[in-house]
Homo-oligomer: A and B are copies of this chain.
Amino acid sequence: MDKSDVVAALAALAQDSRLDVYRLLVQAGPDGLPAGQVASRLKLAPNTLSFHFDRLRQSGLVTVVRRGRSMIYAARFDTMNALIGYLTDNCCAGASQGCVVVACTPESKVAPILESARVRT
């Protein structure tokens, strides 16, 4: 993850609605949520939400797959971990004081859908 990716991810998260969306997806876990459910929970207009999802997707923070008429968005934990790693990297020039690194690696409970699941990153 290079600097421009990090800036893009931070910029994506640095907005009220998107931060809410992202956190909702983080809490939802690897199986994600359909766009409509995010829209209704957060009371966002579908076109506005679509714009925000796009930012999150372009910056690598979420993935999306189509399932029927719905678009299922899910948080990318690898990106979140890389982001945090970048921020805390070489903290205090590597001094030994308690700097623990985060690692979120949850697993999906849903079997991967192979045919209709073309993931757009």
Interface residue ranges, A against B (CB under 8 Å): 3-4, 6-7, 10-11, 13-16, 19-20, 22-23, 26-30, 77, 80, 84, 86-93, 95, 97-107
| Other A-B pairs, 7, CB within 8 Å; known A29-B91, A29-B92, A77-B91 | A7-B19, A23-B89, A27-B90, A30-B92, A80-B88, A99-B102, A100-B100
Chain copies in complex: 2
Q: Which of B20, B26, B97, B101 contacts A102 (CB 8 A)?
A: B101
A14 & B16 in contact (Cβ 8 Å cutoff): no
| A102 CA / B98 CA spacing, docked (Å) | 9
CB-CB nearest in chain B for A93: B27
Q: Shortest CB–CB separation between residue A103 and chain B, in angstroms? A: 5
